[in-house]
Amino acid sequence: MTSQTAAGSTLAITAASPASLDAAGYGALTFLEVGQVEKIGAFGATFAKVEFQPLKGEKQKYKGSPDSGAIQPSLALDPADAGQTLLQTSADDASQKLYSFRVTYQDGSKRFFGGRTFGMPENADGADTMLMATPAIEICTKIVKVNAA
């Protein structure tokens, strides 16, 4: 097994929807890379926990509904960056439209998903910091994993 660092990973977005929710469908889309991304964060499916405690016996635990999670990347604001502009557009979009996202790792493997951006707050933290944004992207589809070629 080969380990890798997060260095070189990228986040990209498109307003287009794939013809199919698989590698071929997402792979046919044209994405805009979001520039100045400092970190993407953890994401992936988890399941709600369903519990039942009978009066007699051990507590029973089951997997409930899946949730593919959310990401809240941090990025240095750049109004000239086309990817950031589309990300802001997705945050301002009041419709229920799904945008398509792609995360690419250092080795070329990809993660595709559909999501909605629930906001893109800006942070002016101090004189010696960058003007940052932390978009709140909720993942609304199953994550499609594509291994590096």
Boundaries of every domain in the chain:
10-48+58-146
Q: What is the pLDDT of residues 85-117, one digit of tens each?
A: 999 999 999 999 999 999 999 999 999 999 999
Tokens of 48: 């709600």
Tokens of 118: 């629930």
Residue 35: count other Cβ atoms within 10 Å of its Cβ.
Answer: 15
Is 115 in contact with 140 (CB distance < 8 Å)?
yes
Query: What pTM value is reported for the model?
Result: 0.92
Q: What is the pLDDT of residue 5?
A: 93
* Residue reference for tokens 């890798």: 4
- Residues 120-125 have a mean pLDDT of 95
Determine the topology of domain 10-48+58-146 in CATH: Pnp Oxidase; Chain A (2.30.110)
What is the rounded CA–CA span in Å between residue 139 and residue 39?
17
Q: What is the pLDDT of residues 8-47, one digit of tens each?
A: 999 999 999 999 999 999 999 999 999 999 999 999 999 9
